[in-house]
């Protein structure tokens, strides 16, 4: 059975990736399973300068989901390169760095630093973080701004470039096409949905930032629809991210046109869920007698 | 570095009612259980409901050679579910998580707990006693109905109890009693409501006492991966689940939640 997939110049041994901000740097999960079995690890959002993130409370549970407003807390790209990367370089899998910024120049400088680092196999450009005041989602929801960003980043970064789109737009296909036109190697569909929650006893918003990003099983049907829509218009690979908690969810995304999937919030419920999902997919292919996983990518039929 | 964690199905040995809102779960100590420090916690999986689906963090209340205990206050659906567990039932658990309390030897120490915040202090007290520390244990409750586990703590040291309304023990908040009976403690430990912790931190700072506090936050993952459990400290935002939940109180900026 062949379950390898290609994303740009990357060859993934399987289509299971862990989503940015939900898997730390892999080390947190070592007691539960070996991150080397994954197709790739995607790091926490990394910025040029260190960031403290937002005030507490940063999360709230909602029906079949959670809101988060972490606000890209991270120690900056230099710390990542010098301190974190050497510790995770041992994983026999691809390391994809999720990059965020306040301004175009921040993104450009960050990716230019990562361009020279061998062990960084790809960059996932986060233009869709709903939890920061400047930058973040602003790039992912503004066509012209995103175009400028992609042109400058693409000039600087020549390894595999993935753009993580915001679902908080009217027509995600336009943004998907833009990424393809500006020579991104792949797109991730999608980040979290802008949402909010209020504590009716204290009458306060549950998040310090009032609004935050909704993730978890609640969002799956919507993101699935967006993956399908994007798959209709672009040829570059699509990586799905949204509400996957089982191998069945992952298969659905592949059928809708995703070449790979990211496991996010589900890591919090079962830290070894990525491994379970990988096994589930293998069993499914075996049972259906499918020799190559690529046969099911985009293979959905309409009713 | 934190110690090794396991993710496993544990067997309930007993579900002991303590009072109308608290119960104590006795769980079989798994054969492969890593060493547990007082102050560490576990994450329980409870069946998802329409309202919630994340795990529930609970402090390790006591550890013996046969069992691990948890002292639980019924809050919402998750803790209500745990209340229904019976002998022989299984519970999906990740443990031990986080960083625990420092255990010195031959020192004079004070423990200050409020309400269900006394949960991690019993195992702490047990380990402090095992290391020859002289303990003053301050326990505060709302009223007589809420007073619990006094006899469990009496095994380890002098216990001072207060209730807000004076219906049992001294009248008043436990931090006031602690302040009145202040001595040159080498270590002070505290767990309880935020308002109590802030007061303990203030008293210790004022009197130059070394203090460790156990802090509760909302948690996404419990293992250091999501950064939802931020605690504002002198060293920036730290994670309650892995850099804590026990912190040197000197590090903590005023808790405002
Ligand atoms: C490290 C740690 C150790 C803990 N130890 C204990 C313990 O030993 N015994 C015990 O009874 N409880 C403990 N808690 C609190 C316990 O996790 C919550 O009471 C529980 O998750 C509530 O779940 P629920 O589904 O019953 O209620 P929910 O419906 O989820 O919540 C009910 C109320 O409790 C609040 N709440 C939920 N989770 C937390 C939380 N993690 N911290 C503070 N408030 C919360 C909610 O905002 C809400 O107001 C601990 C929490 C942490 C972070
Ligand atoms: C706590 C938390 C932190 C996140 N941090 C980031 C981040 O730093 N960068 C990013 O691109 N996405 C981030 N995300 C979004 C996830 O990577 C993922 O795209 C999203 O949660 C949807 O997938 P899910 O429903 O499987 O979680 C975060 C999500 C959560 C829940
Ligand atoms: S709860 Fe996820 S990092 Fe602490």
Q: Where are the domains of chain A?
A: 5-53+71-195+213-296
Q: Which of A268, A270, A273, A274 is the mutation pick for testing B, counting most B CBs within 10 A?
A: A268
B245: distance to nearest CA of chain A, Å?
Answer: 15
Number of residues that this document lists for chain A: 303
B236: distance to nearest CA of chain A, Å?
Answer: 7
Asked if B39 contacts B246 with a C-beta cutoff of 8 angstroms, the reply is: yes
Is A179 catalytic? The answer is no
Q: Give the model's confidence band at B247: pLDDT under 50 very low, under 70 low, under 90 confident, else very high.
A: very high
Which residues lie closer than 8 Å to B210 by C-beta, 6 or more apart?
A: B186, B187, B188, B204, B248
Asked if pLDDT for residue A130 goes beyond 80, the answer is: no
Tell me what the mean pLDDT of segment A156-182 comes to.
Answer: 97
How many angstroms does the Cα of residue A193 sit away from the middle of ligand 1?
Answer: 26
Tell me what the mean pLDDT of segment B223-248 comes to.
Answer: 96
What residues of chain A lie within 8 A of the CB of B228, using their CB? 58-59, 68, 70
Counting ligand 1 atoms within 8 A of each CB, the residue from B45, B49, B216 with the most, and so the one to mutate, is B216
Asked if pLDDT for residue A55 goes beyond 70, the answer is: yes
Q: What is the pLDDT of residue A132?
A: 67
Catalytic, out of A129, A146, A218, A224: A129
What is the distance between the alpha carbons of residues B203 and B197, in angstroms, rounded to a whole number?
A: 10
Q: What is the pLDDT of residues B167-199, one digit of tens each?
A: 999 999 999 999 999 999 999 999 999 999 999
Predicted TM-score of the model (pTM): 0.96
Asked if pLDDT for residue A133 goes beyond 80, the answer is: no
Q: What is the pLDDT of residue B255?
A: 78
Q: What is the pLDDT of residue B7?
A: 97
Q: Give the model's confidence band at A134: pLDDT under 50 very low, under 70 low, under 90 confident, else very high.
A: low
Pick from B221, B231, B242: CB nearest A268: B221
Q: Report DSSP state, residue B198.
A: H
User: Residue A40: beta bridge partners?
Assistant: A17, A94
SS (H, E, C) A66-122: EEECCCCCECCHHHHHHHHHHHHCCCCCEEEEEECCCCHHHHHHHHHHHHCCCCCCE
B219 to chain A: closest CA residue = A59
Asked if pLDDT for residue A274 goes beyond 90, the answer is: yes
CATH code reported for the domain at A5-53+71-195+213-296: 3.20.20.70
Ligand 2, atom 12: nearest CA belongs to which residue? A20
What residues of chain A lie within 8 A of the CB of B52, using their CB? 61
Q: Is B113 on the interface with A (CB under 8 A)?
A: no
Asked if pLDDT for residue A137 goes beyond 90, the answer is: no
Ligand 2, atom 15: nearest CA belongs to which residue? A191
Asked if pLDDT for residue B85 goes beyond 80, the answer is: yes
Asked if pLDDT for residue A221 goes beyond 80, the answer is: yes
Asked if A247 contacts A163 with a C-beta cutoff of 8 angstroms, the reply is: no
Domains of chain B from N-terminus onward: 6-97 (2.40.30.10), 108-209 (3.40.50.80)
Q: What is the pLDDT of residue A128?
A: 82
A212: distance to nearest CA of chain B, Å?
Answer: 12
A138: distance to nearest CA of chain B, Å?
Answer: 23
Looking at chain A, the whole-number percentage of residues with pLDDT higher than 70 is 97
Q: Give the model's confidence band at A272: pLDDT under 50 very low, under 70 low, under 90 confident, else very high.
A: very high
What is the distance between the alpha carbons of residues A150 and A186, in angstroms, rounded to a whole number?
A: 12
Pick from A54, A59, A217: CB nearest B220: A59
Neighbours of B139 (CB within 10 A): 26
Q: What is the pLDDT of residue B51?
A: 86
Nearest ligand, measured from the Cα of B218: 1
Neighbours of B183 (CB within 10 A): 11
Q: Is B197 helix (H, G, I), strand (E, B) or coil?
A: helix
Q: What is the pLDDT of residues B20-70, one digit of tens each?
A: 999 999 999 999 999 999 999 999 999 999 888 999 999 999 999 999 999
Q: Is B218 on the interface with A (CB under 8 A)?
A: yes
Nearest ligand, measured from the Cα of B225: 3
More confident residue, A209 or A129: A209
Mean pLDDT of chain A: 96
Mean pLDDT of chain B: 95
**For the stretch A257-278, what's the b/e string if a residue is b when 16 or more beta carbons lie within 10 angstroms of its beta carbon?**
bbbbbbbbbbbbbbbebbbebb
What is the distance between the alpha carbons of residues A39 and A44, in angstroms, rounded to a whole number?
A: 17
Number of residues that this document lists for chain B: 257
Q: Give the model's confidence band at B2: pLDDT under 50 very low, under 70 low, under 90 confident, else very high.
A: low
ipTM of the complex in this document: 0.94
How many angstroms does the Cα of residue B75 sit away from the middle of ligand 1?
Answer: 7
Q: What is the pLDDT of residue B257?
A: 67
Distances (CA, A) of B222 to A61, B28, B94, B239: 14, 22, 9, 9
Give the sign of the dihedral formed by CA B122, CA B12, CA B22, CA B16.
negative
Q: Which of A51, A61, A69, A76 is the mutation pick for testing B, counting most B CBs within 10 A?
A: A61
Ligand 1, atom 25: nearest CA belongs to which residue? B78
Pick from A22, A28, A66: CB nearest B54: A66
């Amino acid at each position: 059975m062949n379950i390898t997939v290609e994303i740009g110049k990357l060859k993934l041994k399987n289509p299971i990736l862990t989503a940015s901000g939900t898997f730390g740097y892999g080390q947190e999960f070592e007691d539960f399973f070996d991150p080397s079995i994954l197709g790739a690890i995607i790091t926490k959002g990394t910025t040029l300068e260190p960031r403290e993130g937002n005030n507490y409370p940063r999360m709230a549970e909602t029906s079949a989901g959670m809101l988060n407003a972490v606000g890209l807390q991270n120690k900056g790209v230099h710390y990542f390169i010098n301190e974190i990367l050497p510790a995770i370089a041992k994983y026999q899998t691809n390391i994809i760095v999720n990059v965020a910024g306040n301004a175009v120049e921040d993104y450009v400088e960050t990716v230019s630093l990562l361009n020279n680092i061998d062990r960084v196999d790809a960059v996932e450009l986060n233009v869709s973080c709903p939890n920061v005041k400047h930058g973040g989602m602003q790039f992912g929801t503004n066509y012209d701004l995103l175009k400028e960003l992609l042109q400058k980043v693409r000039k600087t970064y020549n390894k595999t470039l993935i753009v993580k789109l915001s679902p908080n737009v009217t027509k995600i296909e336009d943004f998907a096409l833009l990424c393809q036109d500006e020579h991104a190697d792949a797109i991730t569909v999608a980040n979290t949905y802008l949402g909010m929650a209020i504590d009716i006893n204290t009458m306060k918003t549950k998040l310090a930032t009032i609004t935050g990003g909704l993730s978890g099983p609640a969002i799956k049907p919507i993101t699935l629809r967006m993956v399908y829509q994007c798959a209709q218009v672009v040829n570059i690979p699509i990586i799905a991210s949204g509400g996957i908690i089982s191998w069945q969810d992952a298969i659905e995304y592949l059928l809708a046109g995703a070449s790979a999937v990211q496991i996010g919030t589900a890591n919090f419920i079962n830290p070894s869920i990525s491994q379970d999902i990988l096994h589930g997919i293998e069993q499914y292919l075996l049972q259906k007698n499918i020799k190559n996983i690529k046969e099911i990518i985009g293979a959905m039929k309409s009713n | 570095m934190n110690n090794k964690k396991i993710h496993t199905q544990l067997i309930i040995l007993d579900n002991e009612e303590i009072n109308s809102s608290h119960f104590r779960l006795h769980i079989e100590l798994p054969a492969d259980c890593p060493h547990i420090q007082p102050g560490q916690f576990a994450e329980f999986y409870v069946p998802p409901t329409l309202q919630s689906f994340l795990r529930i963090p609970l402090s390790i209340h006591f550890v013996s050679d046969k069992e691990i205990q948890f002292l639980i206050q019924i809050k919402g659906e998750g803790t209500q579910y745990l209340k229904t567990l019976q002998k022989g039932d299984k519970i999906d658990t990740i443990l031990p998580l986080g960083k625990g309390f420092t255990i010195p030897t031959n020192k004079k120490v004070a423990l200050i707990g409020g309400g269900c915040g006394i949960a991690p202090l019993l195992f702490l007290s047990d380990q402090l006693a095992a290391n020859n520390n002289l303990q003053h244990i301050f326990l505060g409750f709302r009223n007589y109905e809420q007073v619990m586990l006094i006899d469990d703590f009496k095994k380890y040291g002098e216990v001072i109890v207060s209730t807000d309304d004076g219906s049992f023990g001294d009248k008043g908040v436990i931090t006031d009693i602690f302040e009145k009976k202040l001595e040159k403690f080498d270590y002070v430990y505290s767990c309880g409501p935020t308002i109590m912790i802030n007061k303990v931190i203030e008293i210790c700072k004022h009197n130059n006492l070394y203090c460790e506090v156990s802090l509760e936050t909302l948690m996404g993952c419990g293992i250091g991966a999501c950064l939802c459990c931020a605690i504002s400290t002198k060293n920036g935002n730290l994670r309650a689940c892995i850099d804590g939940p026990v912190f040197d109180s000197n590090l903590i900026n005023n808790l405002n939640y």
